[in-house]
Amino acid sequence: MIWVAVTFFGLLAIGMPVGFVLGVAGMVGIMDMGGGKFLSMAPDRMFAGLDLFPFLAMPFFILAGEIMNRSGITNNLVKFADALVGWMRGGMAHSNMVASVMFAGLTGAATADAAAFGNTLVPAMVKQGYSKPFACAVTAAGSIIGPTIPPSTLAVIYGSIMGVSIAGLFAAGILPGLLICLICMAVIAAMGEKLNLPKSKKRPSLLAIFSAFRESILALVLPVFILGSILGGIATPTEAASIAVAYALFVGGVIYRALTFKDLYEMIVRTTRITGIIFLIIASASILGWWLTFNQIPQAIATFFLSVSDNPQVIVGMILLLLLFIGLFMDINATLIILAPVLVPLTQSIGMNPVHAGIMIILALNISLMTPPVGACLFVLASVTKEKIENITKSLWPFLLAEIAILMLVAFWEDMTLFVPRLLGL
């Protein structure tokens, strides 16, 4: 255990990609168990870790989002969001949040949201009078709505490895995602006067709102179709994701005529790279995860938690602190794959519903996407906008605290979290 820990944190410290760190640390543990015999387990575990049919949904959802973004459909969503809430003080910041909800239903990825809006909304906000760090902070805060509201790639991973209904997880993510949007808009409203945020001179007419809605209707239909087909039992998540790609190609290529074969090639390459990184992490984490399970480390961690307290609220609080702390330093996909098999049995021992536990874990990891030093969304925005991460972080704290408050609500109020899944009979 000591050698594995030293290897793991040592390689992270020198900057080795987390996908390789997980694999090497797992191999060190396996070699210490007996060399050749156990070493043959490594390739078996890598393939077994990826041999799950629901994982196919991830590259399809990523590609669908790429197509929607490249074809300009994202801009129509932003225009519709601006027509709805752009008239308020801090209107473009509010529009950013509402557009994040709409965009979430297309990609399920926070970094895609951050990259898209970092290229479009952040410059527009700066031009209208917002400071660049604040514009980036708003975009970062809204970006985690993507992997919370369905289709969420983290929900696909969690449901696949833990045998939990992905449809149930999708349904459970709707309300927390909307609450994040609302509380961030409340923060923007509260800071409006203090920061003297820009305000539109007049509200748009109903005709203007309807016109913006009509232009964005083809994009708005897609998330409704994806979620409806899954929750209605018409399609599996993988089937719904593949149909989403076909729909996005039709809308972007035939109706909007905004895609070329060069665009398609670049989108497929980008999707392949993103998927390859995620799958490498999953495969490598499977090696380390097998070693942890073989040595009964999950049981030891559960025993330690229960020895501290048998109060369910205290245990949930410790789980949240652990997730938020580890999320400061590790990739969220790797963290989920390693810790889910450890923490979910612990949550079940205190009577927590697996779907409830899943959304709690997913939301906690999503929040770590916007926390330094390795918050992925911060790096994306810093790269796209050329703004320093430390400046973005200073403007981000009010939103971060607000979203942690939503996390507490989700973790400790089961009836609220499971309201939508129960309403849909999931």
At 118-128, the pLDDT tens digits run 777 888 888 88
Most confident of 8-17, 270-279, 363-372: 363-372
Annotate 69-82 with DSSP letters as a single string: HHTTHHHHHHHHHH
What average pLDDT score do residues 47-64 get? 76
Does the pLDDT at position 105 exceed 70?
Answer: no
259/396: higher pLDDT: 396
d(CA 341, CA 349): 13
Three-class secondary structure of residue 36 per DSSP:
helix
Q: What is the mean pLDDT of residues 210-216?
A: 81
> Can you give the pLDDT at residue 373?
66
Alpha-carbon distance 354 to 344, whole Å?
7
Structure tokens at 220: 């708005």
- Give the residue-averaged pLDDT of 303-312: 80
* Mean pLDDT in residue range 40-68: 77
CA atoms within 13 A on the CB side of 358: 30
Identify the pLDDT of residue 88. 80
The per-residue pLDDT for range 150-172, each reduced to its tens digit, is: 878 788 889 888 888 888 898 89
- Going from the C-alpha of 182 to that of each of 100, 275, 288, 323, the distances in angstroms are 12, 31, 39, 24
Tell me the mean pLDDT in the region 238-265. Answer: 84
Q: What is the pLDDT of residue 255?
A: 83
For residues 347-383, one letter each, b for 16 or more C-beta atoms within 10 angstroms of the residue's C-beta and e for the rest, the string is beebebbbbbbbbbbbbbbbbbbbbeebbbbbbbbbe
Using pLDDT thresholds of 50, 70 and 90, give the confidence band for residue 192. confident
Q: What are phi and psi of 234, to 5 degrees?
A: -80, -35
Question: Which tens digit of pLDDT belongs to each residue from 323-381?
Answer: 888 877 777 877 888 888 888 888 888 889 999 999 999 999 999 888 876 677 887 78
pLDDT at 38: 64
Residue located via tokens 């016109």: 211
CA-closest candidate to residue 103, choices 91, 87, 120, 88: 120
- Which residues, listed in sequence order, are joined to residue 345 by a DSSP beta bridge? none
Per mean pLDDT, which of 79-83, 171-175, 257-261, 345-349 is the most reliable? 171-175
